[in-house]
Amino acid sequence: MNDAERFRDKHVHFMATAEEKSQLKKNMRQAGYETLGNYLLKMGLEGIIINVDFSELRGALGDIGSLRNEFNRIGNNINQVTKHVNESKEIDAMDVYLLQEEVDRLKKQIEHFEKNVVDRFNEKLRQLGVD
């Protein structure tokens, strides 16, 4: 068949890296297409691209650093209490009480962090119309 008889008579050309081409071919095979041209045409005409801006979640994810610091502090305190117990063979009730308070405070921070991330993520999904 010559070019004049073709239904699609316009040529489209673009450049890709070797890795990008490899990924395109992998996606093509997974989608069940035999030719890259058919796959790219289908995706270009009917494919759905969803761009999600998670920048609002960065604040919540930034809390991970403070939680890590809290874990380190509690770990240090546990080490100090353990050292004291090993040296004196006694447990100071105040040390245990303070340690328990720190653990409880950390649990509350983690619960708040998880709720914040889930709420923001669900809001993003609602904005995208995903139910």
Q: What is the pLDDT of residues 39-83, one digit of tens each?
A: 999 999 988 766 666 676 666 666 777 777 777 788 788 788 778
- pLDDT digit string (tens) for 71-102? 778 878 878 877 877 787 777 777 778 878 88
Around 49, how many Cα atoms within 13 Å sit in the side-chain half-sphere? 5
Q: How far apart are CA 104 and CA 106, in angstroms?
A: 5
pTM score above 0.75:
no
Tokens 């209490």 belong to which residue? Answer: 81
